[in-house]
Amino acid sequence: DAKTTQPNSMESNEEEPVHLPCNHSTISGTDYIHWYRQLPSQGPEYVIHGLTSNVNNRMASLAIAEDRKSSTLILHRATLRDAAVYYCILRDIINTNAGKSTFGDGTTLTVKP
């Protein structure tokens, strides 16, 4: 299974943009890049995902490198509620893999007021 590498922790100031990096150098052509976040004492929640093109939704933007070996989750204006652990995972669209994903330890984002 392809693995991802993320920094252990990052800090941001409130109202400023945050760029969370993820490396996935062994990604396969059928892997989607997914981002989830886990607020304290809660289960993970979906943030965004993409395959090749950059993606935007109401929560964040996802920038994917041209070679797909890395991606960046962008929070345009961090708020205190964005303080969480952010996981970058790969999900294979081949049905036989059943969407099994490997969650690394993620990046703990601290937002300072």
Q: Which residues bind other proteins (CB under 8 A)?
A: 32, 34, 36, 42-46, 49, 51, 87, 91-95, 97-106
Give min distance, CB of 1 to other proteins, in A: 9
Give min distance, CB of 15 to other proteins, in A: 28
List the alpha helices (DSSP H) in 1-113: none
Q: What is the DSSP string of 15-40?
A: TS-EEEEEE-TT--TTEEEEEEEE-T
Q: Which is nearer to other proteins, 65 or 93 (CB)?
A: 93
Query: What is the side-by-side strand order in the sheet with 55-56?
Result: 18-23, 70-75, 61-64, 55-56
Q: Which is nearer to other proteins, 71 or 101 (CB)?
A: 101
Q: Which is nearer to other proteins, 42 or 67 (CB)?
A: 42
Sequence-separated (6 or more) residues with CB below 8 Å from residue 9? 107, 108, 109, 110
Give min distance, CB of 4 to other proteins, in A: 10
